[in-house]
Amino acid sequence: MTRVALVTGGSRGIGAAIAKRLKNDGYTVAASYAGNDEAAAAFTAETGIKTYKWNVANYDSCVAGIAQVEADLGPVEVLVNNAGITRDAPFHKMTREQWSEVMDTNLSGVFNMTHPLWNGMRERKFGRVITISSINGQKGQFAQANYSAAKAGDIGFTKALAQEGARAGITVNVICPGYIATDMVMAVPEKVRDSIVASIPVGRLGEPEEIARCVAFLASDDAGFVTGSTITANGGQYIT
Ligand code: CAA
């Protein structure tokens, strides 16, 4: 029986690589996205992976979106909380709105997606919750008080929920990618990006597929004893 995997922010960047990898591994995959219809349509045309539009920052939208995915494909057994945004600004320039947008998407979005799926995973005695945090949730980052706080919150969320899921066969893990070659990182000013690359011991940005491989492992039956863990994949830029 093929398992159903749902990847948020799954039509672009790291999420798209995860969705493709899980499909290749035999999962039935759904990808959610928030806004870019064109990219989602192109992704579906290329991969055959169904895409669904809703904003993970809105709880009711998540409940409705998940219900639609489950009606189409069956119960979601693997959730990959990947959707995330940046609103970078030095703190003295950061607005309340920039703070809230990032917290609502990158932290509350993880609650909003995991909560509606949790009871079903408990009843079926199987589940995989994999959240994509960030190196910047571990080390902090200039101009990212909002993002670093949210991504650090994702790590705490994972450590707490892993303890609750353990007896129900649900593993809960988090991955902290470093700087990966995606639109998000390419939006960083070139000079800043060059200095970031210079600080990565392996000497390059990561590839989205390198994060997808970590997800594939955590989703697999082989990883049943791995829960509450943080996988750090950052080319040695920050060693915890
Ligand atoms: N450490 C210390 N000082 C820094 C700094 C740093 N890392 N980066 C910038 N500064 C300094 C600048 O030198 C400048 O100082 P002066 O005023 O003395 O010249 C000041 O801070 C910045 O002032 P600006 O008015 O130029 O700032 P700005 O309002 O234009 O903001 C910025 C610019 C948003 C900080 C921009 O430089 C930027 O985007 N930086 C990159 C931040 C970053 O790395 N974000 C990660 C995005 S990728 C991601 O998030 C994915 C992931 O998970 C890894």
> Residue 1: its pLDDT value, please?
65
Q: What is the pLDDT of residues 39-55, one digit of tens each?
A: 999 999 999 999 999 99
What's the 97 CA to ligand 1 centre distance in angstroms?
A: 19
Q: Which residues does the annotation mark as catalytic?
A: 147
Rounded to an integer, the average pLDDT of 22-43 is 97
Spatial contact of 179 and 196, defined as CB atoms under 8 Å apart: yes
Closest Cα to atom 3 of ligand 1: 142
Alpha-helical segments (H) within 8-107: 13-24, 37-47, 59-73, 96-106
- Does ligand 1 have an atom closer than 6 angstroms to the CB of 135? yes
Rounded to an integer, the average pLDDT of 185-214 is 96
Type of residue found at 132: I
* Residue in 136, 142, 155, 180 to alter for ligand 1 test, most ligand atoms within 8 A of Cβ: 142
- Does ligand 1 have an atom closer than 6 angstroms to the CB of 147? yes
Q: What is the pLDDT of residues 93-117, one digit of tens each?
A: 999 999 999 999 999 999 999 999 9
* The CA-based dihedral angle spanning residues 45, 46, 49, 55, taken in that order and rounded to the nearest 10 degrees: -70
> Residue 41: its pLDDT value, please?
97
Rounded to an integer, the average pLDDT of 73-90 is 98
- Does ligand 1 have an atom closer than 6 angstroms to the CB of 93? yes
The Cα 209–Cα 155 span in angstroms is 22
> Residue 8: its pLDDT value, please?
98
- Overall fold of domain 4-229: Rossmann fold (3.40.50)
Q: What is the pLDDT of residues 52-73, one digit of tens each?
A: 999 999 999 999 999 999 999 9
Domain range list for the chain: 4-229
Rounded to an integer, the average pLDDT of 156-183 is 97
Q: What is the pLDDT of residues 115-157, one digit of tens each?
A: 999 999 999 999 999 999 999 999 999 999 999 999 999 999 9
Closest Cα to atom 5 of ligand 1: 142
The Cα 179–Cα 192 span in angstroms is 12
Closest Cα to atom 13 of ligand 1: 192
**HSE toward the beta carbon, residue 103, CA cutoff 13 A:** 9
* Residue in 85, 87, 88 to alter for ligand 1 test, most ligand atoms within 8 A of Cβ: 88
What's the mean pLDDT when you consider all of the chain?
97
Q: What is the helix (H) or strand (E) element at residue 29, kind and residue range?
A: strand 28-33
